Chains A and B, each alone.
Chain A
Amino acid sequence: MNDFLLIFRRDFINKEDQPSPEQLQASIKPWQDWLGGIAAQDRLARPLQRWDGEGKVVRKDKNITNGPYAEIKESIGGLIFIKAVDYDEAVEIANGCPILELGGNVEIRMASTID
């Protein structure tokens, strides 16, 4: 079993790309059920945590701007750590992530161990 980082991204900036209040509210239960399902398989690698949606971005010229980092269109909405055998299995779990229904995506990274 390996640890995987799942990063949820979507466009939180562009007005025309935002889900309606109705859609947002309807997304609560799928999130709860999806996370509950991962926990029910004992696949959560670390406790869940909420992350501030804005944050800061630091650059070499000491120019610190308010986040979120959005050079690319999407920014981070949240992240979790899960346990999975391999990338295939992690992808299968990520396939159920409700952010996909809101036009977002999930980036997956496997934790690497130094041998």
Chain B
Amino acid sequence: MEERELLPHLFRREYRKIVSVLCYLFGIDHIEIAEDIVSDTFLSATEQWSLKGMPENPTAWLYTVAKNKTKNYLKRNTLFEQKLSAEIRYTADKTEEIEIDLSVKNIADSQLAMIFTICNPCISSEAQVALALNLLCGFGIQEIADAFLTNKEVIYKRINRAKERLKMEGIKIEQPNAAEINSRLETVLTTLYLLFSEGYYSTSQNIILRKDLCAEAMRLNYLLLENKSTNQPAVNALFALMCFHASRFEARSNESEEIILYQDQDESLWNKELIDQGTYFLNKAATGNIISKYHLEAGIAYWHTQKADTNEKWESILQLYNQLLILEYSPIAALNRTFALAKTNGKPEAILEAEKLNLTSNPFYYSLLGNLYTDIDADRAVQHYETALKLTNSSAEQILLSKNIDQIRAGQK
């Protein structure tokens, strides 16, 4: 995958690479020093490039300056260097100058180590996502605040608290061994999935930012696929899932940001390349004997890329949802499962099942009931849609619900 294609922002891309390498070198206690050095490098770049124009190889320029700034910093702070040299991982001889290795391999190793450091269950998952965006993706505090629809102070506090916690727990920034990978990979995948969902399902109006979040989650996921020890079936399955979802990004809203439901989407806007890529990685995920929730969700997403409304499609989706719910309950899966049940076993049976779910504070529960009662009992359908309307905060959702109500009312006349 061309990284350039995913993320055209040079500074953002190089920021996270240099930060990872320096954090990996310095250790968790000195994250801020790494961040300062890199910020300083970009400040120099901005000043010089705006005066003299872009250098021929901007990346190499940034690396050289970052290296020099690091060396200067270490020279100025002999105390820090002494303390650090005891911790330094790969300098054979203490008297030797510390080597700042910005090779492709060390960048990849550093980023992998940082992923496992940040996705640590000792900090909350929303703090993990914010910290990942900051350190692993090079997002600024304001950008993260926009993505979470909150203000800078909240994110700033969240990130700092998370860093303090990681320091307090003495978390090491190091290559995870096989046992650690097995015990920690699930947390890492959960965080990457949250990051992706933040972009995909966010109600933020900033489409570019939302796409960036999805692309970042995919990039970090891809990083795990490039490493032999983390290239595991569930990681492939999650990547497939992201590809399938991302393939519909352009089709799921119109210019005025209104939601376009799956059945009304213009298929020609689905990204064929991403669908093919998803299928490729889903096939690669089909090894081993553990079926993760990502396998099941990717399977569901795969069937959604098949537009034709066949019984095979909905029966497959229903059984995948059955398995997913048995593995791990979630209200949204329960609602989607009931929708699939209506397609395979008919609306009357689905209504009985839906009413057992009792998700009375969830707007989607009532919009599902509204959908199921349409063509069966118009008044009840309207009643349910109106309840959903009262419960939802999303304006896009409100427009959709009002449309449904109007349609039923028009049919009644």
Residues of A within 8 A of B (CB): 29, 32-33, 35-37, 39-42, 44, 47-48
Contact = CB atoms under 8 A, between A and B. Distances in A.
B334 to A, nearest CB: 4
9 contacts: A33-B322, A36-B321, A39-B334, A40-B333, A40-B338, A40-B356, A40-B357, A42-B334, A48-B326
Nearest to A34: B322
A36 B325 contact: yes
Given A41-B334, A42-B334, A36 B326 contact: yes
B345 interface: yes
Contacts of B345: 33
Given A36-B326, A48-B326, 20 more contacts: A33-B322, A33-B341, A35-B322, A36-B319, A36-B325, A36-B337, A37-B353, A39-B322, A39-B329, A39-B334, A40-B329, A40-B337, A40-B353, A41-B334, A41-B356, A41-B357, A42-B329, A42-B334, A44-B326, A47-B327
| Band of interface residues on B | 20 to 34
Contact of B356 (A35, A37, A47, A48): A37
Interface of B: 315, 318-319, 321-323, 325-327, 329, 333-334, 337-338, 341, 345, 353, 356-358
A42 to B, nearest CB: 4
A32, A37, A41, A47: most-surrounded residue (chain B CB, <10 A): A37
Contacts of B323: 36
Chain B interface main SS type: helix
Given A32-B319, A33-B341, A33-B345, A39 B326 contact: yes
B252 to A, nearest CB: 25
Contacts of A32: 319, 322
Nearest to A93: B356
B272 to A, nearest CB: 32
A44 B341 contact: no
Nearest to B356: A41
Given A32-B322, A36-B337, A44 B353 contact: no
A48 B325 CA distance: 11
A36 B356 contact: no
B262 to A, nearest CB: 20
B198 to A, nearest CB: 25
Nearest to B335: A40
